[in-house]
Structure formats: C-alpha cells, structure tokens
Structure 1
Amino acid sequence: MEKRRILIIDDDKDIWAAYQMVLDPRRKRGGAIEEMKRMFRVESDDADSADFVLVFAGQGQDGFQIARAAKMAGEPFALAFIDVRMPPGWDGMETAVRIREMDKEIEIIIVTAYSDHSCEDIVRAVGTPSKLLFFRKPFDPEELRQLACSLSDKWLLARQEELQRRELQGILQTSPAAIFVLDAQGKIMTWNPAAEHITGMPAAKAVGGPCVFREISENPHCRACAKECCLLDKSEKSREIVITDQAGNRKILAMNLAPGMKKDGKSENLIGSFWDMTSIRETESALVSSELRFRSLVETTRDWVWEVDAQGNLTYCSPVCYEIYDYQPDELRGKSYFDILHDEQAGIAMKKVFLDCLQEARNCQAHEHRCRKKNGEYIFIETSGTPVFDNARRVIGYRGIDRDISQRKAADEERRLLEERYRQAQKLEALGTLSGGIAHDMNNILTPILGYCSLGKLKLGKDHFFYEKLEAIENCAQRAAELIRRIMGFCRKQDMNIRPVQLNLMVQELAKMLGRLIREDIQLTMELTEDLWLVEADRSQMEQILINLVVNARDAMNEPGQLFIRTANRIVEPKTLYDVDLREVSGQYVVLSVSDQGSGMDRQTLEMIFDPFFTTKEAGKGTGLGLSNVHGIVASHNGRILVDTEPGKGSTFHIFLPKINPDLVEADISSPPEILMPGGPETILLVEDDLEVLQVLAASLSEAGYHVLTASDGNAALRIFEERKHDIDLLATDLIMPAMGGKALSRIIRLHAPWLPILYMTGHSFDIDTDELKNISNTTLMQKPFSLEHFSRNIRSMLDSQKKQDS
C-alpha cells in the first residue's frame, strides 16, 4: 500500500510530538510523549494507526521548501497541517497560499487556537474552499486520526483517478481506433486523433458540436437523426456505415456504440468507436474478384489445375479433369496422383520425379509423361507444378497443371517424319543429279559402240569370224546401257511407258527366268491372290523391281531355304502405316512382297540399304544400285516400300502400288507388236556435237538409203538449213550442244518450216520436259543409247506420218 505523506508546519515542537503520537504511535516515545498521551486521553499503545509518513517544519518558509522538493521528486504530500501563527516568519495563511500555488492537489488543514485572520479571509487568499479545511486546537486525537485518514484516502483516490484519466487520455490520443463520446444532448464531448484522421474532421470543430455523422454519413438514419443516436439498437451494437470525409473520399466504417454512465436508469452519454474498413472491404472485394477470375480461368482453361499434399494425394481438382481423363473431380480427390492416373511403371517413375522435387523444394517444369484415362486409353501429358509452403517454409504439397499434349506429340512425330523424308529426298536428289550427269556422258559413249556393232554385224554377216566378237561387244554395251537405265531409274528421270499392268501375269511370265536366277538349293514359292487389282506402271520397270528383289533375296540366303513371292490386295486406314521414308501409307494398294529366309538386317543396316552404292556384299559382287533403283522406281510410281526384318529371321520387302479403277482400263493391256521399218530416199539434217555418235548415226542412215546432212552444233545446222531448207525432210538433233542447243535450233527452224518433223535425242530425259513435247506436233524424243534399228524405225515412222498429212 502506498504510504501517505503528511507535512506538519508548526513552530511548537511539542505539537510535533502530539501529531506523532496520534498519527504514528509505533515510533519510540519518551516521557514527554507519555505525558501528552495522558493529556490527550490516549488509552492504549496498541491503537490502530494508518500507514503515515510525517515530516515536520518549524516555519512556513521551511515547510514550503520541503513541499516543493517533494513535489519535484515525485513524492508529493497528501496533507499539510499548517499552524496559523508562526512568528517571526510566514503565517499560516501566507504559507497555505504559497503551497496551493505550487501543488493544486494537496489537502490543506489550517490548525489554530486563535487566528489573526478569519476563515473567509483565508479562503479568499487560497483561492478556493476546495481541499481546504479548518481544525481548531486543542483537538481530539481520534478526530485528528479520522481526519487524516479520510483526507489522505480522498487524496489517494483523486490521485488514482487522475492517473486513470491520463491513461485513458493517452489511449484516446494513441488508439488506432477512432473514439468519440456523445452527451445526452447528442453533442460531441470527445473526438480523438484517430477520428480526426479517418474523417478529416478536426477535434476543434467536432467537440461541442452536434454529431458529425449527421453531416458526413450516407446512412439515412444518421441524416434524419434529431438528437438521440438512432444507430444504438439493442439488437445490434455494431454496424457498417458509409461516409464522405472532408477530402471528399468515400469510406466504409465499422461502428460500435455503447451507452455510457447511467443516472436514474438512463444513459448520460454514448460512447462510440469506429474503424476505417475501406481498404479491408476493397481487399475483400478484390479477393472475391480474384477468386472469381481464378475459378473462371481454372474452370474454362483446357489445362487441368490440381493440388496435391506432400504424399501426392489430390486435394483439389478443376473440372477440366473430366475432359482430359474422363474422371469427375470427386472421383480423383483424395486419390494418389501416381496410382489412379498411371500404370505401375509410369506411376513409380512419376513418383520419383515428385519426391526429388519435394526434397529440394523446387518447381517441376514441363515434365512429359504418359497417363492413363478412365477408359484405359493412354495419352501424353505435360505436367508443371510449384511447391506450396506453410508458415515455417516447409513444403506441404504442390500446385500445378496438367496439359494434354497428345496432339502436339503426334504433330512433332509427323514433323520429324517429314523432316526425315525431306533429308532423304535431298540426299537422293543430290545423288540423282550426280548420277544423271554420269548417265548422260555414258549414253553418248555407248551409242556409237552399239551403232558400230550393228553396222559391223550387218556388213559381215553371221558366218564371219568377227560376228561373235561384235555380238560380245554389243552384249557388254547392252549391259552397260542396262546399268545406265538403272541409274536413270534411280534418278527418277527416265521416261516411262505407263500402262495398266496385271502383276500376277507379269510374275507368272517371269517365273522361269527367276528360277534360273536363284540357286538350286533355294525353292521359289509363289502365292498370288486371285482377282488381283490392276496397277498403272511401266511393266519393264516392274520386272526390274521383281528381278532386283529376287536377286537380293538370293544373295541374303547363305543356306538352303525358301524364297516367297506374294501378291495381295490391301486397304490401309489413315495414320496406321508408314514406309521406309516415314511417309504415311493409306488407301487401296496392290502389294508385291518378296520374302527370304536369310540372315536378316539390324536397324542400322536397314536405314542404309536404299542408299545408292551401299552394299553388304564383297567387293566386285554388287554395285549397290539394286535396292536404290527399286526405291527410285517405286517412288516414281507413287508407291511405298515397307521392310520387315530382324537379324537371323530373314527379310520381307513389301512394294505398295496404288490400285487403279478397272473401268478406266482398256481391254488390251499388252504392248502392240513391234514392226520393222525400211529406209528411204529422204534428206535428213543430223545435228550432234559428239563426233562418234554423229558418225555412226550418219552411217546407219546412209546404209538405210537416206541422204544425210550433218552438223556438229546448232549454228552450223542453221546455216545448212538456210541453204537447203527446201530439200530437208526431217531434223534429228541432240538436245544439249555448245552455242545453240537442240530446242533453240528447232524453234528457229519451225518458224520457217512448221511442218518439219523433228527427232530429239538426249543422254538423259531431264534435258527437256516430256509434257512440253506433247504440245509440239510431229516431234519424238529418243533416249540414248538406242539401237540403230530403233533409230531408223522412228525416222521412217515420222516421215511416213508427215506424208500422210501432206496428202
């Protein structure tokens, strides 16, 4: 308990002892004290006494100094007993006035037996009768004790109230909550700084005036309020109102109201507090909008949004899961992501990825894996996720998306196939260009060889010793020409005689020859489908395909076995089959298959077998052009090649050729019989830059009876034509020549002789567009090397045709 300090100012020290005996009897006392005790009729030493601290002063000035020092030290006196008469210094009135000026809270008791001043004079001098009391000597000890106790208790209560008032004032001044008080008349008694800040209304303007909410609130009750606050509803002590502050800003306030002190059952005032809820409500509104946007985004995006806990169990599933996996969200929630959407092996792999990310608390970014739908179908999924942390920064789960990338994977695969096919086409194109150039030069070499052999045989006759030698030379040249044709077929530049072909008939006609191509320990077996569809093809090239495949199968079989030739009709659905060039196979096809029981091929070999000049045979036993030639011919017929092979289990080559409509096929699909044509007396202008070719062709024409005019280039031919144009019946010209080529020459000559037949000769067919020739009347193209008989027959045919037109 706080000690109550009492200041006693009296010039009589015996009076000091009396005060001490009455107010602090437990302190040691002497004989004089005992005598005074008897004087004041104090009966017992054990009488109760308050916990007082007594301080004495003999003069008014000394008492004032003591009181001031105590005040400054923070230990003020509760009471001051002041004697009225204290000569020679200040009297009691002067001392009381000085102490009151210094300490407004101290209780002053004027003690006197006789006074030079009246009580009214003293009250006027001190300034107020409050906290001023008069006490006459001699005084009763019990009365003195009760007076000291009562006044000190009053002083302590007042002091505590002041402390509480200051604390409350501090709370009001520093509270973030706005606080105000209305009196019974509805006027503002208190308006703290927070209220000023929120409303913009200064306290100086608000305090003493009517409730400011009548002016600034949008609440209709506040607007209509006359006196008693209508917001104070027994059923609702808290509500929100909207105001417009002094700066014109619209704000939302959370208002709390409570009745204050009551008198006669009625409240004397109204205490209110309010908070600015504007930012909170705006934040809440933004959160609601954000949640709606998020939910709208999550539920409309094509990606599946999910959340899992640290064990991988699904805790949230957006509705998109039904579109991707055929599962409703309720079917997935609580289930393991790894078990329900994956098979065993894929689930283990995905769980390992998840645990690795979980351990390192890192993102899972664009992880591709295969997932299983509810119906058992498998799809490709791209998963991305980010960790979810608790307040301690521990990973408690993951949040992310699943994206169905099945179509993208299919597109990527298709693009890869196209790129691979494009690279293959580029490679073949480059090799084709090289091979075509070689073929052109070789054809020019072989043409005179074959021509002179024919002329020699014609001159010598069959019985001559050199006839067989010439025939051997001719055979070698024919073999070389066949090789060139294969190269041309690989180049896809060779002219083709496209006609409807029945593959079963072709296989049967070649059966005897194919039997001679294979060894005796190999059994040839043919399995031909009845009612086989027709294909549109060059029969000689189809024969070449079959021969090459049979020879290739024979060479692959080091041991005795069977070699199968099969034909079949086949309908292929889209996106189910791809050829060796990774091109799609779809539609109706006639399939020619050749199977062997040889050693088979590994993947690396399979990727190279159609490359030109690639061979697995020993040096000197293969050119490496057989399968590349097959590839070129099939490609030129818009066909496809598939190969089934496995090391140690043989190989099967499947040639897919498009079916043609049988209604468009003419009844006779066989080639017309060839008829030998005789020579004649006409004049031929022969133009060829290769001297050997020019000489042999001129000799053959002369032998046939024609009159031949020769030229080694276009310019020379043009000069001859200008001199002999009325004598010339036909122009036979090479296409590619120095200075002026065959096409330029023919265009100039046709300006003067549009009727003149023109025979073009070329070493490879890309020297001229064959479609272009179809639009030029009375022209023929011959591919080198050719026989003299074939050359003469074409010359005769063109001349006879022109004669018919002239007649």
Structure 2
Amino acid sequence: HIPFVFYTATYTDEKDEELALKIGADRFIRKPVDPEEFIKIIQGVIGDAKKGRVKAKRPILIEEKEIFGLYSERLVKKLEKKMLDLERKITEHEQAKEALGESDKRYRTLLKTISEGWWLLNSEYKIIEVNQAICNMLGYSEKDMLGKTPFDFVDDENRKIFIEQTSKIATTHHRSYEIILKKKDGEDLYAHFNASTIRNESEDMQDSFALITDITERKQAEKERDRLAVAIEQAAESVFITDKDGIIQYVNPTFERLTGYSFTDAIGQNPRIWKSGKHDALFYKELWDTITRGDAWHGRFINKKKDGSFYEADATISPVSDKSGKITSFVSIEHDVTHELELEKHFIQVQKMEAIGTLAGGIAHDFNNILTAILGYAEMVRMKLPEDSNILSDMDQILKSGIRAKGLVQQILAFSRDHKLEQRPLQLKYIVKETLKLLGSTLPADIEIKEDIAKDVGIINADPTQMQQVIMNLCTNASHAMQEEGGILSVSLINVELDDIVAAHYIDTDPGSYLRLTVSDTGIGMTSEIIEHIFEPYFTTKEKGVGTGMGLSIVHGIVKNHNGGITVYSESGKGSTFHVYLPRIGETEEQPKAREKETPSVGHERILLVDDEPVLAELGKQMLERFGYEVEVRMSGIDGLEMFRAQPDRFDLVITDMTMPKMMGDKLA
C-alpha cells in the first residue's frame, strides 16, 4: 500500500478533510505548515507504511458523479468565499480611494488658500502649479506663471543665488534661503524660500516644491534699524541706553570721546559712575520719578569724566516701552555744552570789557578836558614869565608831564571806540617808540625795557592804531610772563628780506621786503602744546579774571589783515620771542625838522566861543583876548545860537565845543 497525503491551501476546512479521508487519503495537510512539522508528518506516514501499520484502506464506494458533485460543491463555496473577499477588498479599496481623494482635495484647498506663496516645479524646473498668494505677491496671473522657471522672476545677481541653491537642493533634498524676486511692476520682493524635493521610489527627483514668504517689510525694518544704528553710531551727541533698572547696555563713540569711558568700561555699569557731586539727591530723584512714570526728562548735567575733569551737557532721557506699555529701557541723548558755555562766558567778559572801554572813554574825555585846562593855563603862565625866571624850567616840566598825560588819554580814547581800518604809509619806529614810552610808566619797576630800533627801517602801509595795539598786546603779554620775578622786555625793529622757502614754510606769507618787529621776554616761557593754541580766540593760561584770551588772537588777526606773518619761539622756563613781519613799501624817510618857534600874530576879529565847561571857556577867552581878539562866551549851544541869531553880523568866527548837553556843536554849526 502506497500512502496518500493531501497537501492543500485551497481546501482547508473540515468538510474538505472529511472528503479527502473518505476517498482514501492517509493524511490531510493544510498550507501553510511549518517545514519541520511538515517533514515530521511525512516521515511519520512513511514510517508507518514500512512497519505495516498503514493498511490499505478500502475506499468508500462513491459514484464518480457524486464525487464530482461534492468537489464542485466545495469549489463553488470556495469561489463564493473568494468573491466575497474580493468584493470586500474592492469596497475597502474604493472607500480608501474616496478617502484619499477627499484628503487630496483638502490638501490642495489648504495649499491654495494659505497666506504664504508656493510653486511646484517639475524636473525641468518649470512651474507646473502655483497658489493665488504667490500670484498676488508678484502681480502675475496663474496663467502667466505656469510654464515659466524661477529664473524668469529674478535679476542677474539673484539668478546666481537661484542656480547655486537649485544645485544644492538636488543633493540635500531641502534648502532654506533668502532671495530678491522681481515683481511684474519692477519692484523688489524680498522672499524667504523653504524648498524641498519630491522623489520617486528609486529616489530620483521628480518635482520640487517651494514655500515662499514675503519678508519685504521685515527687510525694510532691518534697513531702518541699520540706518538708525549708523546714525546713533555717528551722531555728534552722546547716546547711551540702559535697561529698566538703569544698567548701561549700549554707548556710542561720541559718549566714549566725551566721557573718556570706553564701551567696555561702561557696559554693565550704572550712570552714577560719572556723577560729579554737583547735583543733590533731590535732583536725581525728580529725574528718576519723571522717566519711570513714562515721561521724558530734559535738563542740564554737570558730569565727571574718567580723568576727573568736568563737563556740562544738555540731556534728554526718554523711556522706551513695549507693546503693552511696560517700560523696558531708557535712552539718554546728551549734547556737550562745555565749549558753548566757555564762549558765553568769554562773550560776557568781552561785553564787560566793551562796557569798561566805553566807561574809560567817557572818563578819558572828561580827563582830557581837565588836562586841556591845565596845559592851557600852564602855557599862559609860561608865556607871562620872563626868560630869566627861575621857575621857567618847572613850568616846562609841568607842560611835558601834561603832554605825556594827554598822550595817555589819547591812547585810552583810541582803544575805547570802534576804529575803522585806515591804512596809510607809516613809519612804524615812531609808533614803537611812543608805545614803549607809554608802557614805561605802567610796567612794574623790576621789568627793564630794552629798545633796539634800526635807523634805516622802512615804511609800511598800516593803520597806526592797530599797529599800536599789536605792540601793546605783545608787550603786555611779555610783562605778564615776567610778573613773578621781573626780567627784561626786549623790542627790536629791523629790515629783512624773505625768500620763497622761509616765507612759505615758516611764516606763511609771500616773499619780499619786510619790517620785522621782535618782542622778547625772559619770563616763564611756554610748552609746545600751549604754543599750538595761543592764537585761538579766548585761549588763555592766566588765572580766571586776569585775561580775556583775546590779546594774541587780535594780534594775529591784525597782522594777517596787513598781509603779514607772525612766528613764536618759546621753551618752558626760558622766555618767549615773537617775530611780526609786515610788508615794507619804501625806504625810511627823514623826520621833518621842527619849525622854529614863531611869535603868534595879533588879531582884532570878534569871536563867539561856546563851551559848557566854564574852566575851558574862560581859558579860551583869556588866550584869544591875549592875542587881541574880542571874545564873547556862551555856556551852551542854545545860548550861543540865540546870541548869533540876535546879532549875526557882530561875529567873524564861532568856536564851539562838540559835545554839549541839549545841543551838540555840530547842530549849532
């Protein structure tokens, strides 16, 4: 008997097994079965057959037709089951397909309606799909964009960026970058791209998708922020920013220059590091209360620099708030007014000097009237004295002193009034001599004046008053430099010739013939740092209240106005020497010989003398009458006018004082 085994995956239920065994099968094995189990069953069947334990089965006699019927029945049932399974799978597939369609529809609706723009490119980088947002961004219709490439929406510079990023996305699968797109109207669109590839099962790139965000506003804000940062960095005002607790977070370069504190020094510090001690606690409390309640504070600080010196600044401190209104920081902008205040002080000082000059001019005018009377009466007394009088020499000394005093008064008057520049040919040596004579009576006794004026010095074209001012200022400066221990003031005047090199490089003037005025002292001298500033307005090394800082600045201005030049040499402790160069226009002229004293002629005419000073009126009357004139005196312009109108034919000459109350001399004339 040969064993017979059914091994099936089609007929697997109990009815199938029953039929198989019915028609003589020894075993019925359903697929799938574990290989070990399968071998074990087969070996068992073969073993039983060898041992005779498998006996020939007598098959149940069933008609072939019946067997076919049973088989067909089983087969139909199997087919029905398969059909049901297939129908179920088809239904499930249709449901899944429908669900996928709905999902795809929702996905596409979502993509079409998102605010960010996007486009889908094929493997040839042509646009095959876009949403409305990207169309709105660029100003194109969907029809306009389809079929184009991204390179159609950029300029040459950004095309390079696109090419670079496109080549990288092929290997990295994803890229994020920024680029500038060109809108239809030609405007720039700053865009941020998130690009990804879409690949098939073999990892070949089929399409690529880019999500595009418009960042134009952000870029413009960044540019504004950068411009603001540059403006703050380059601002002439000092700017620093603190947090809400007053801790410094930022300072600009002007702050560093103004305070002496570097960026590193200041960051993390409190502004109290430059407190000067010039403001009380209430000052700072009011400031802090103002800014913490959200208001800006305006005021003036006196602060201390890193080196310990002080500066003054007009400041505005403003709070900075977030969207909720909460203060997050404070911004301080300071304008250094130290120099402006110095100029203001100097201006006030100059105004004081002008007022003093006006006052001095008034005093000098009155003193001049007194001197006129003294000199006049002294001259009259001398004229009455016989030539052999023993008091004649005394009268001469009175007259000489009076003349010197008159010269001093004239100097005061010249300095006290506005002086129009009147350049004319001038022998500077006489101005030098007269000025030194004037200085001799005013300088301390321990300062010796040495005068060295060449006899052949030439002529210059200059204003006499301004030349006198130059000499006076230089000599006054020299005397101040020697005020502690005295010394020697040396003044010289010579002719010099300046060549091209010396004129251009050392004196800053043109080559040619010059007079050189030299003023030297043996005083304290100056350092090179001080020399650099001595000709600047208001610069002074003197104590407060001693000088205005204008003397050498005025000298420099006058010399330059006369087409000249000025140099200075000095060392600390070794005195100073100033050389003034003034263009020479001719050789020296001989001093005109004094005319011999002539005996005044005697007159007989009638004179109306008008003067509000009784002493001068009487002096004038006596002097004129001494020489034979008939004189009528009136003490005011109004009285003089009335007399002249009453008797116009009586007078041959009217002599009037210029400055009188009620009616000035020019009005009378």
The TM-score bracket by the shorter chain reads 0.3 to 0.5
TM-score by length of 2: 0.47
Q: TM-score, normalised on structure 1?
A: 0.40
